[in-house]
Amino acid sequence: MKAFIRIWKVLDVEEIKKSLFVIGQLSGECFHCHNMGIPVDSKVCPSCGSRFRFIAFRRKTTQSVIDRFRLKHPDSVFIEFDDFKKNIDRDKARRILDI
């Protein structure tokens, strides 16, 4: 039996920023240039040309939704958006506080 299991892996957040496709209700957003309204089956940002290697969902999602998107994006890595966002926010706070 194959199933999705969340794992902890060290990844370069800056690298993810450059190639992250954030999927919302109806369309997606390129995290690199913040172009919105991108069709969810896109593999490349039409605005900046970034190739979407990482995919995250704005809302909590189910395995059936991930399965559907995995068929559209078989080579992409699916990440938890909340984990990614917390790391970005922590980095911003450190820069502001000069830590």
pLDDT digits (tens, 9 = 90+) for 29-77: 999 999 999 999 999 999 999 999 999 999 988 888 998 999 999 999 9
Q: How many domains, in total, are found in the chain?
A: 1
Q: What is the pLDDT of residue 6?
A: 81
- Classify residue 8: in a domain, yes or no: no
Answer yes or no: is 21 within a domain: yes
Return the SS3 of 97.
helix
Assess if residue 53 is contained within a domain: yes
Ranking 15-19, 62-66, 80-84 by mean pLDDT, the lowest is 62-66
Q: Domain range for residue 34?
A: 14-97
Q: Three-state secondary structure along 64-94? A: HHHHHHHHHCCCCEECCHHHHHHHHHHHHHH
**Does 9 map to a domain?**
no
User: What pTM does this model have?
Assistant: 0.87
End-to-end alpha carbon distance in the chain: 46
Residue type, 93: A
Residue carrying structure tokens 């940002």: 45
Domain-located, residue 63: yes
Task: Name the more confident of 68 and 22.
Answer: 22
- Residue 78's CB is within 10 A of a number of other CB atoms, namely 17
